Amino acid sequence: MGEPSKLDELVRFAIKIGARGLQLKAGQEPMAVIAPGRLSPINHPPLSQEAITAMGAEAAARGSSRYGPVEARFTCSSETIAVVISRPA
């Protein structure tokens, strides 16, 4: 299992604080998007344009297989609710 990438690191932090996205600008500290128009610094050194471009390419390569939405199906048995979470085909 490989080490987490820079993209993993930033997305993981954004998820942990409940952010809705990341704002990345070359030479500036990455910001978490808390809500439209509301940004919060995430205490990460500024990124170079090359690093941002590489992260964008990595995200695009992963595509929806990793970050696409999931769906949940619910059924009931005698005492439990069963949930199956998967990605739409």
Partner 1 sequence: MDADNDAGTGGAPLTLWRGEQKPSRFGYEYRVAVLAGFRYEAADGGSGRTTGDASIQSEGKTKIEPIVTYQVWQLGSQRFGSKNVELSEADKARMDTELAVLEVDRVRLKIPYTYLGVKPGARIRVAYLDVQQSATQESSLSTDQTLALK
Which residues of the chain form contacts with partner 1 (CB under 8 A)?
1-4, 8-9, 11-12, 14-16, 19-22, 35-36, 67-72, 74, 76-87
Phi then psi dihedrals of residue 7, to 5 deg: -65, -45
Contact 12, 5 (CB under 8 A): no
Shortest spacing between CB 26 and partner 1, in angstroms: 20
Contact 7, 15 (CB under 8 A): no
Give 84's Cβ-side CA count (13 Å radius).
Answer: 6
Shortest spacing between CB 25 and partner 1, in angstroms: 17
> Would you say 20 or 25 has its CB closer to partner 1?
20
Shortest spacing between CB 80 and partner 1, in angstroms: 4
